[in-house]
Structure 1
Amino acid sequence: MTTFGFSLNHHIELPDDVFRLLREQIYKRSGIWFHDSSKYLLQKRLSPRARELNFDSFQKYFYFLQYDPRADAEFDQIFDLVTTNETYFFREPAQLQAFIEEVIPDVLSRKSVKKVRIWSAGCSSGEEPYSIAMLLDDAGWYEHAAFEIFASDINQLVLQKARKGTYRENAFRATDGKLRAKYFTRQDDNSWRVNDEVRNRVSFGRLNLYDEARVFLLGHLDIVFCRNVIIYFDDASKKVVVNNFYNRLVDGGYLLLGHSESLISLSAQFKLRHLKNDMVYQK
């Protein structure tokens, strides 16, 4: 059986010209750039959505995105479908150790009011901000200061999962057994749920890192985690996002990127700090 001239088992063909128009609109709205080699990825991930809206071609779907009043909401659906969300608890442990043992003491040493504001930017399904909260608790830092952890992502589906706080085994590939026993409760279906004490220490919200006006509303921050996120932006968009981070950080504030990411050729505003455990950027 076929519908609209294509098999239900196959994707709608994404013509090169429509691919270029579509990626340009995604780029303008999010700063995320899809190279020519990513055409099939967009075709694969968006074909079911186009079919769901009863479009038999990407040309018609793109026309809808250009002229329909529901286009803004539809682009939110697109962001949910095309963003990658691979992560796990306690990723890049050397950096997390530097955060707990070196960054936090330095931040607190310069504060009269012992309150630290942390942003997990591009938090995906929540493993990173929950890891931050667990490590702060395990190290006893909550006894010495107040911590505000805000976590954001452009993808609404992963934020729903983050708020729920329930995870499968693959999220624990770098988790010490003692920490899992301390901060998680095993569920009847063999998943693991973050304990309420930890969940209540993190607030989640949808935010486009490319949206300077919305990022501005976060106010001043002491530490920004943005790990393995800016690799999905082109250089021009990376500069916008990094500049947004710079403007939100207090003097002496820290930016923690993924190990595969660097500010070389992107920003000369930050200093690269060689700490005992890892390298981080500081305003």
Structure 2
Amino acid sequence: MFSIEPELQLSEEEFRLIRDLIYSHCGLYFDQDSKYLLDKRLARRLTLHNLAGFRDYYQFLKYDRSKDEELSDIMDILTTNETYFFRESFQLKAFTDEILPELKSLKERERTLRIWSAGCSTGEEPYTIAMLILEQGLFPGWRVEIVGSDISQRVVQHARKGIYGRSSFRCTDEKYQKRFFTETPEGYRICDEVRELVSISHMNLFDANRLALLGKMDLIFCRNVIIYFDQDSKKRVIDSFYNTLRDGGFLLLGHSESLMNLSTAFALRHLKNDMVYQKPAPSFGRAA
């Protein structure tokens, strides 16, 4: 008996339908130049679900009971999750040498520190943040909470497992690897001292209800995430970051990202090691 081969050619109409559905789900926007990428990367999903063509796949994404799981899976296929520990070292130096001491001064009475790694991929970023805080030793006796989140279920599971191969350590000083990791047959396992500071969650940055449950943050890392969004989606996400930050809290973007033409609500701080964004406290005034 012969199986029916799916029609793998993505028509213009099917491209628009699937593109717009993904956009409404999570804000990722694919322009006309991305049609070939969607065609090639999603074709195998038709075979996986025994669908005859992309029209059926669109109906699957829209109405099937497992549509949310499938949308999560295709985020893996359509986006890049490559990362490593201690990425963008100049920004991390600004974080440890300038931002953390300032937050310590601001929060001395409260003695809590909450940091969100939005779009944390396989977890290297939130664990890097935790290692730097532990190494610095500024917050003994404080309640320190680092939340890592990502829209991809696969990378969230990887991050929760906390085991990494050699490629994740391309920028890692040997002292951190010796102190915070244990070598196992599977790879290098992050130690419990770091794990205790970090929680990993599945989260869509367009999910207002989930964002509301996060509570207020003192600092948000969102590096190399909004590059996948169009202008309207970027503005929506940046507005949600502003509302999530406490007064005086910081927003750290990737080195190629900025808030130009997106928001005037943040103050641009020129630190010694980097330029970062800060939500003005009442005494700071508003950015021009």
Whether the aligned pair in 1 keeps the contact of 2:114 and 2:219 (CA below 8 Å) is yes
CA 1:144–1:104 in structure 2 vs 1: closer, same or farther (change >3 Å)? farther
Deviation digits for residues 52-95 of structure 1, max 9, x if unmatched? 11012111111222333443333233223323201110000111
Question: What's the offset of the Cα at 1:144?
Answer: 5.6
How far apart are the structure 2 equivalents of 1:93 and 1:218?
27
Which residue of the other structure, out of 217, 239, 242, is the alignment partner of 1:246? Answer: 242
C-alpha distance in structure 1 between counterparts of 2:61 and 2:185, whole Å: 43
Q: Which residue of 2 aligns with 1:109?
A: 105
Q: Does 1:181 align with 2:181?
A: no
Contact 2:104-2:138 at 8 Å conserved across structures: no
- Unaligned stretches of 5+ residues in structure 1: none
**Alpha-carbon separation, structure 1, partners of 2:240 and 2:278:** 14
* Percentage identity across paired residues of the two chains: 53
1:41 is aligned to 2:42: no
Q: Distance in 1 between matches of 2:176 and 2:72?
A: 35
Match of 2:198 in 1: 202
Paired residue type of 1:154: I
Structure 2 unaligned residues grouped into runs of 5+: 280-288
For 2:16, the equivalent position in structure 1 comes to 20
SS at match of 2:96: helix
How many Å apart are 1:3 and its aligned residue? 4.1
Q: Distance in 1 between matches of 2:2 and 2:181?
A: 47
Contact kept? 2:115, 2:220, Cα under 8 Å: yes
Q: Using a 3 Å threshold, how does the CA distance of structure 1 residues 2 and 246 change in structure 2: closer, same or farther?
A: farther
User: Number of paired residues?
Assistant: 278
Instruction: Please tell me whether the aligned partners of residues 104 and 139 of structure 2 are also in contact (alpha carbons under 8 angstroms).
Output: no
| CA positional deviation for 1:2 | 7.6
Local SS of the residue matching 1:33? coil
Map of 1:100 onto structure 2 = 96
Aligned position for 1:59: 55
2:143 to 142, 146, 166: 146
| Whole-angstrom CA distance in 2 between matches of 1:68 and 1:123 | 28
User: Which residue in the other structure is 2:208 paired with?
Assistant: 212
Q: Equivalents in 2 of 1:38, 1:203: separation in Å?
A: 34
- Structure 1 residues 43 and 253: CA distance shift in structure 2, 3 A: same
The residue identity in structure 2 corresponding to 1:122 is G
Cα separation, 1, equivalents of 2:141 and 2:275: 25
Work out whether 1:264 is the aligned partner of 2:260: yes
- Is the 1:98–1:278 Cα contact (8 Å) retained in structure 2? yes
SS in 2 for 1:41: helix
- Would the aligned equivalents of 1:83 and 1:155 in 2 still touch at CA under 8 Å? no
DSSP-derived class of the 1:214 partner: helix
Distance 1:135 1:24 in 2: 40
Aligned counterparts of 2:9 and 2:184: Cα–Cα separation in 1? 42
Give the deviation of 1:47 after TM superposition: 1.8
Q: Matched residues in 1 for 2:65 and 2:167: separation? A: 40
Where does residue 128 of structure 1 map in the other structure?
Answer: 125
Q: Which amino acid aligns with 2:181?
A: F
| Matched residue SS, 1:204 | strand
Distance of aligned partners of 1:61 and 1:199 in 2 relative to their CA distance in 1, 3 Å threshold = same
